[in-house]
Amino acid sequence: MHVHILGICGTFMGGLALLARAEGHKVTGSDSNVYPPMSTQLEEQGIELIQGFDPSQLGESEDDAPDIVVIGNAMSRGNTCVEAVLNRGIRYTSGPQFLAEHILKDRWVLAVSGTHGKTSTSSMLAWILEDCGYEPGFLIGGVPQNFGVSARTGNSPFFVVEADEYDSAFFDKRSKFVHYQPRTLVINNLEFDHADIFDDLKAIQRQFNHVIRTVPGEGKVIWPKESQAVTEVIKMGCWSEQELYSSLADTSQAGWSTKLIADDGHQFELFFDGESQGILDWQLIGQHNVENATMAIAAARHVGVKPQAAIEALVKFQPPKRRMELIGTVNGIEVYDDFAHHPTAIATTLQGTRAKVGEGKITIILEPRSNTMKSGVHKDTLAGSMALANEAYLYQADNIDWDLASAMKKAELPVKVLYEIDEIVETVAEKAERGDTIVVMSNGGFGGLHQKLLKKLNAKQ
């Protein structure tokens, strides 16, 4: 079957292309920006990439048209290829629906959902299964460093998928994860996000209720006991087995709990139903990663992995790229790349970083790039989320609808708002000293700031 993908260079759609190719399909695709590393990864698998959306890529006649066109959720009416697909009556579908019908069919799906930690938790879960000999398939919204790719079909019934609540396509406004029909469902946490498609938290909770409705009675839903938002979703109806995780220090209670041995979270003890399952001493830090690991271990246990074996696997776990990834150390100055783009994620990342560096200086460079950030939904909580840093530099891009400087007046730390990426690089590099920790936070490329900063720091030596 010839599968043509519109919007192929996104992480999800690119991963889907790799899976379709591995299943033996001819795969082609197009995007507005075809560039490495995704373009390289796809072309190495024999996938032809086309720059732009000229309708000629769909063939001149019915005979040379694709058998099916997978339309990414970034595509909308008015796109020339979309209009040609509709006008010519070419068969089309969404990415999540194609995944469900052609990849996930007859698989044991382990879906990892929630506002934060999906990529990290699904990467941990896939690695636990791999290290324990399960050879799972997976589709993850990042690149797990233990695997080096974002997707693969695997050699077993088990398939780990990062289950995103964003909508499926312009013609299917259900959340992606509603298509996946998981047997094991992890809900990490739940907050308001994606203000461009959801009006309020209740709208998101409704989608989570929909995915819970698809979990079999013999399946399992794993969720955080202290989350009021998730508790409300469960009260809307849950017909499956449940396991709860508590972030409180009471390790005698039923379900999963943890006790920190190191304040920064790099060492903690795991408990289930009041009994110790072992101690994890690993390279990750932060309470959020303690919680992510616990969820991954719980999900792996559902398919037969003993918690102690999962703990041993996570000792060897390497975090996905762009999740507090150390991208360079120059003259004693550490520079990290982090995907955080929500106040809660920023705060939890800084909590772990502060516990690690103690009194050391932490500098944040933040690009408020997500649609929710750009709309100003989080402008009243952003300043408080950065409180554990020593200083912050914010990038005021042209497409941000609110004044960053005004919102930062209540900040408890020095905050500088700048309009040019090069000026941020110059200022931060000039002030940086041995022992400093610089964390660059963005869910995009940030105009190449990361490498520009490392180059400037090197030139300073």
The phi-psi region of residue 135 (left if phi > 0; otherwise alpha if psi is between -120 and 50; otherwise beta) is left
3-state secondary structure of 177: helix
pLDDT in tens, 21-42: 999 999 999 998 877 677 888 8
**Mean pLDDT along residues 88-96:** 96
Q: How far apart are the two ends of the chain, measured CA to CA in Å?
A: 56
Sequential DSSP letters for 51-118? ES--GGGG-SSSTTS-SEEEEPTT--TT-HHHHHHHHHT--EEEHHHHHHHHTSTTSEEEEEESSS-H
**Strand pairing of 184-187 and 108-113?**
parallel
- In percent, how much of the chain has pLDDT > 70? 98
User: For 139-177, b where at least 16 C-beta lie within 10 A, e where not — what string?
Assistant: bbbbbbebbeebbbbbeeebbbbbbbbbbbbbebebbbb
**Given a cut of 90, is residue 316 above it in pLDDT?**
yes
pLDDT at 238: 97
Instruction: For the chain, give the mean pLDDT.
Output: 91
Q: Which residue has the higher pLDDT, 223 or 321?
A: 223
Q: Is the pLDDT of residue 356 over 90?
A: no
Joined together, the tokens standing for residue 169 give 């396509």
pLDDT at 395 over 80: yes
Q: Residue 461: is its pLDDT beyond 70?
A: no
Mean per-residue pLDDT, 2-23: 94
Q: Which backbone phi and psi does 23 adopt, to 5 degrees?
A: -80, 0
Quote the pTM value: 0.84
Give residue 403's pLDDT.
83
Q: Check whether 249 has a pLDDT greater than 70.
A: no
Q: Is the pLDDT at 448 greater than 80, yes or no?
A: yes
Least confident of 33-37, 69-73, 229-233, 316-320: 33-37
Residue 196 has pLDDT above 80, yes or no: no
Q: What confidence score (pLDDT) does residue 63 get?
A: 82
Going by pLDDT thresholds of 50, 70 and 90, the confidence category of residue 193 is confident
pLDDT digits (tens, 9 = 90+) for 253-295: 789 999 999 988 899 999 999 999 999 999 888 888 999 999 9
Residue 252 — pLDDT band, cuts 50, 70, 90?
confident
Residue 97 one-letter amino acid: Q
Which of 148-152, 301-305, 412-416, 431-435 has the highest mean predicted lDDT (pLDDT)? 301-305
Say what the pLDDT of residue 412 is: 85
